[in-house]
Amino acid sequence: MNIVPQGNFKSQVSTDQDKTVLSSAVPSLPDTLRQQGGGAVPLSTQLNDRHPLESTLNHWETTQRQRQMEQYRQIFGIAEPIKRTMELEIVNRTDFNPLSTNSSMHHDILLNKDCSIDWEDVYPGSGLQASTMVGDDVHSKIEKQLGL
């Protein structure tokens, strides 16, 4: 049972492999394309250039949900986590939204978030990730509204 998500951060990539696939044409040369399993793969796709905590934060809610379901299974038996998972799936598949907002009140109740206020509740659609589009941040929106 994990309280904090596993850290699968990769800071180094090794270019030399223990197993070397030899070329069928020249047996003394390694066959790079067969060794990488389907073509040339750039090292930048294998190297994670982000902060180690980013993957932990991205998987935080999933890990907490799995921990909660495991605790429900240990306390109440297998029926409780199955029931809660089925209810959450039913709410996710329905489009019933009486308040006409982006967030689903039923979804928040089932995830036990009905009494918490998140960043997305105050600033809908912004999220915690940085904006990649130029002119899409908070400051440029304020400047646009004020005509600066």
pLDDT digits 0-9 by tens, 122-146: 777 665 554 445 556 677 788 888 8
Residue 3 lies in a domain: no
pLDDT given for residue 13 in this prediction: 57
Q: In which domain, by residue range, is 104 found?
A: 54-117
48 is a domain residue:
no
Considering the domain boundaries, does residue 97 fall inside one?
Answer: yes
Does some domain include residue 23?
no
Residue-wise pLDDT for 29-63, tens only, equals: 666 666 665 556 666 656 666 677 877 888 888 99
- Work out how many domains the chain is built from and give that number: 1
Kindly state whether residue 4 falls inside one of the protein's structural domains. Answer: no
Better-predicted residue by pLDDT, 119 or 94: 94
Determine, yes or no, domain membership for 75: yes
Q: How many CB atoms lie within 10 A of CB 81?
A: 19
Helices within 6-137 (DSSP H only): 32-35, 43-46, 52-58, 60-76, 79-93, 105-110, 119-122
Token match 């991205």: residue? Answer: 58
Q: How far apart are CA 81 and CA 59, in angstroms?
A: 20
Residue whose structure tokens are 């019933």: 96
In a domain, 78, yes or no: yes
Please give the mean pLDDT across all residues of the chain. Answer: 75
pLDDT for res 131: 46
Asked if the structure places residue 133 within a domain, the reply is no
Model confidence pTM above 0.75:
no
Question: Phi/psi class of residue 139: alpha, beta or left (left: φ > 0; alpha: ψ in -120 to 50)?
Answer: alpha
Q: Tokens 């070329």 sit at which residue? A: 23
- The answer to whether 61 and 80 have CB atoms below 8 angstroms apart is no
